[in-house]
A and B are shown apart, each in its own frame.
Chain A
């Protein structure tokens, strides 16, 4: 059971906009910034978003993040086949005194 809650799956067609939600509590998302990672099959996670909505250098602006209260969302616009991957949200948890992750959402591009 992950501390942060994500839907197990999401899907979309090429060119579409999809969103993935992440729900937490006051001790994590409610009081700290949210990060998003993309994990392609058989590879290490890659940082997509930090600070709720900041993209590291090299991450396309098709990826965007937002946060409201104890929930956050990752939006992917102009969906492409190479976006098919697992996506994880994360945040610092003040009770754990460490980072916590969501269970992951498997994105399928139809």
Chain B
């Protein structure tokens, strides 16, 4: 059964870069049928899409974050990653990685999420 697991620092200082990795197990990230995405949820608030990547390297991002976001894929490790630069307290959130079948257009499998706090 496919599983996704987020990993990375739980605390990041303001103005620094947040870096997270999502490891895919139980299946291959190298399928043309899926995109892999990052979604975040600030404490007590709703969901916000950050960006998505295809195993081919094709990426697209939320325009509100685009200049700060880098999403990449490493097929040899079956992982994809998120880098968010120049973070502020507003970037404090639970960060989820998820799979999106291109035919469904919905995120059907999610990681458990990882809490990232931006604080000095």
Binding site for B on A (CB under 8 A): 2, 32-33, 35, 37, 43-47, 50-51, 56, 88, 90, 92, 96-104
Contacts and interface: CB of A to CB of B under 8 A. Distances in A.
B104 A51 contact: yes
Nearest to A34: B106
Nearest to B111: A44
For this complex, into which size category does the number of interface residues on chain B fall? 20 to 34
Contacts of B52: 98
Contacts of A92: 105
B49 A101 contact: yes
Interface string B96-117: 1010000011111011110000
Interface of B: 46-49, 51-52, 60-63, 96, 98, 104-108, 110-113
Nearest to A33: B105
Contacts of A44: 96, 98, 110-113
B94 to A, nearest CB: 9
22 contacts: A35-B106, A37-B107, A44-B112, A47-B106, A47-B107, A50-B104, A50-B105, A50-B106, A50-B108, A51-B106, A56-B108, A88-B47, A96-B62, A97-B60, A97-B63, A98-B51, A99-B105, A101-B46, A101-B47, A101-B49, A102-B46, A104-B47
Most buried by B among A37, A43, A47, A96: A47
Contacts of A88: 46-47
Contacts of B62: 96, 98
